[in-house]
Amino acid sequence: MQNLDTRMVNETVVNGLTSDDNAIRKEAQDNVNNYLRLRQREEGFARKFYDVAEVTPNDLDKQVDTPLPVIVKDMEPNSAGAYTVPFGTTPMDSNITAPRYRVMFDRVMSRRYVADVNELLTYDMDIRQIFNDFILKDILGEEDRKFMAVADAITQAAGVNTPTALLACCQWIEAGELNRPNLANAMRGLPSTNRRLNPAAALVNNITIWDIVAMQRDEIGGDLAEELFVNGFTERQIMGIKWIITIKNDLVDDWYMYMFAEPKYLGDFFVLDNVTMSTKHEDFILSFFAYESVGATIANIAGVALAQFTGNPHNWRTGALL
Amino acid sequence: MGTLVPSQMFDHTLVTVKGPGRLTRLDYHAAPKSGEAIAPGMCASIDSNGEMIAGVPAGAAGNRPMAMFAIQDTDAFDANSDVGNISGGVQSAIVATGGFEVESTEFDSGQTFNPNDLLKDDGGANAGRITLAAVAPYGAVPVIGCVSKGVDTNRDGVDVLSFWTCWLPAGT
């Protein structure tokens, strides 16, 4: 026997989505979309490293060879430097140039699910939760997968414990076991590059975080040690940065900690089409799928670093053992 | 006086002039093989890794690559992107058995195409380019289409070959 309240909610949603009245159908659609967008903000981790901005067609830049949407942005230029001269010396010229980069968009969509409307009425759970479980989690998983593919490509390009010439620093080191001194050393990753950024957020999986919880009173202080022992770890600030924990350990390996710079130094996350549920109703068949269109970058390769809490700790600048 | 001719968005195209609508048509998406360059309108297939490649090889007995036709360029912004972007990584194509009549810019312009001529992948260095099969089906090469109207110039001034897509796999 179903929960009567849930059944009434489900009937309302299904009847709204299958209504012949355009106004009712649109209202039901908006309610589902609002629900999904709220969950989207809560459940995807890639967006948490950015100041996510919704863009409109007016924000897009034209290209000659493609009608596809793109946004062209300026990067901060390098200055030519100042120098000391004796009196009477004229300045050297330097052209004003600055790099630009493109933010490109594609579409992420779910599969199209098809059901007899009466089948949707037999679930003993909120039908919007079914939409969430069937559709939104997959979309967010894909968003996070693509974000991590770029983060991995950047941090692992040179190999572990290997400095890159461009940044004069490693972007991926073995950091030793996870304890307070090694964690503090790991935090030196971004500031050690020649762009000298500070980490603003860290990303670990739900396995690695238990090594933080296991830290003793002499490592993280009495109150925090007690609270973590009693309540476990929730999203919080440690060592001045925001810790984000994901259950997606297929994307974030055990003992890996990614560090990200502040959003303004990291890149962009533009939403061209917010997640939208498309529904179609013919007779007693309801089909639905969801889609979104986003463009995101890690435009500054110095904005991300990876510490792997295995082996022995290494020096970020040289890659040598500490 | 200017002498540069910039690339245009209609230089390479695939237009499905007849067949199932976009929301219900038989298409397929896959990551392109590394280094592969597939333009819209080229014939394509997937290799044993499931990656999209230009051209439609004959395959082996019991394993015959299905013919497809690329919808967008391997380097289109929504299929690939600049370093640092999270977009792209996947290319899509319509499947030859999906019941289409198409116009493609990617054909061998040195050939004369008559209605009902069978078509194949040009292969080799021209893999992906569509040309005359000039052989009976189910032979050494897969047939990927049958000419309908033939060659015409589209509204953008680009020559296109019109044909019905089909797939008659190699048989020997």
What's residue A211's pLDDT? 80
Q: In 3D, which of A85, A152, A64 has the Cα closest to residue B86?
A: A152
- Residues in chain A with CB shorter than 8 Å from the CB of B11 are 65
Question: Mean pLDDT of all residues in chain A?
Answer: 88
**Closest chain A residue to B73 measured between Cα atoms?**
A66
Interface ipTM: 0.84
Place of tokens 């005359």: B132
Contact check, Cβ <8 Å, A101/B84:
yes
Q: Is residue A93 part of a domain?
A: no
Orientation angle between helical segments A137-155 and A22-43, nearest 10 degrees: 40
- Give the Cα separation of A12 and B65 in Å (integer): 48
What's residue A121's pLDDT? 79
Q: What is the pLDDT of residues A183-220, one digit of tens each?
A: 999 999 999 999 999 999 999 998 898 887 777 666 66
Q: What is the pLDDT of residues B45-79, one digit of tens each?
A: 999 999 999 999 999 999 999 999 999 999 999 99
Q: For chain A, say whether B156 makes contact (Cβ under 8 Å).
A: no
**Test mutation, B11, B86, B90, chain A, max A CBs within 10 A:** B86
Pick left, alpha or beta for residue B127 (phi over 0 → left; psi -120 to 50 → alpha; otherwise beta). beta
**Closest chain A residue to B91 measured between Cα atoms?**
A106
- Residues in chain B with CB shorter than 8 Å from the CB of A101 are 82, 84
What's residue A231's pLDDT? 61
Segment A221-228 mean pLDDT: 65
- Residues in chain A with CB shorter than 8 Å from the CB of B25 are none
**Closest chain B residue to A293 measured between Cα atoms?**
B87
Contact check, Cβ <8 Å, B76/A68:
yes
Q: Is residue A82 part of a domain?
A: no
Contact check, Cβ <8 Å, A101/B82:
yes
The pair of three-digit structure tokens given for residue A40, joined into one six-digit string: 């989207």
Strands (E), A79-129: 100-104, 106-109, 113-116
Domain, as residue range, for A23: 1-74+98-322
Q: Is residue A86 part of a domain?
A: no
- Residues in chain B with CB shorter than 8 Å from the CB of A107 are 78
How large a percentage of chain B has pLDDT more than 90?
A: 94
Question: Mean pLDDT of all residues in chain B?
Answer: 96
- Residues in chain B with CB shorter than 8 Å from the CB of A106 are 77-79, 81, 87-88
Could you give the C-alpha distances from B153 to A9, A91, B10, B149, B161, in angstroms and in order?
57, 59, 12, 12, 9
Q: For chain A, say whether B124 makes contact (Cβ under 8 Å).
A: no
Secondary structure element (H or E) that encloses residue A17, with its range: helix A4-17
**Closest chain A residue to B88 measured between Cα atoms?**
A106
Query: What sections of A64-214 are H helices per DSSP?
Result: 117-120, 127-131, 137-155, 180-186, 189-192, 209-213
How large a percentage of chain A has pLDDT more than 70?
A: 91
Number of domains in chain A: 1
The pair of three-digit structure tokens given for residue A86, joined into one six-digit string: 């004796």
- Residues in chain B with CB shorter than 8 Å from the CB of A301 are 84
What's residue A286's pLDDT? 86
Q: What pTM, to 2 d.p., does this model score?
A: 0.86
DSSP symbol at B9:
T
SS3 A84: coil
The pair of three-digit structure tokens given for residue A50, joined into one six-digit string: 């950015």
Q: What is the pLDDT of residues A234-279, one digit of tens each?
A: 666 777 889 898 889 899 999 999 999 999 999 999 999 998 888 8
Q: Phi, psi at residue B30, to the nearest 5°?
A: -160, 160
CB pairs under 8 A between A and B: 69
Using a CB–CB cut-off of 8 Å, the residues of A that contact B are: 46, 64-70, 101-107, 143, 146-147, 149-150, 154, 267, 294-299, 301
Q: Is residue A309 part of a domain?
A: yes
Q: Which residue segments constitute the domains of chain B, with CATH numbers given?
A: 14-168 (2.40.300)
State how beta strands A199-205 and A241-246 pair.
parallel
- What confidence tier does A59 reach under pLDDT thresholds 50, 70, 90? very high
- Residues in chain A with CB shorter than 8 Å from the CB of B71 are none
Strands (E), B31-155: 43-46, 52-54, 68-70, 91-95, 101-104, 118-121, 130-132, 143-153
Query: What's the gap in Å between the CA of B115 and the closest CA on chain A?
Result: 32
Contact check, Cβ <8 Å, A104/B8:
no
Q: What is the pLDDT of residues B112-145, one digit of tens each?
A: 999 999 999 999 999 999 999 999 999 999 999 9
- Give the Cα separation of B59 and B47 in Å (integer): 9
CATH number at residue A282: 3.90.1690
In Å, how far from its chain's centre is CA A85?
Answer: 48
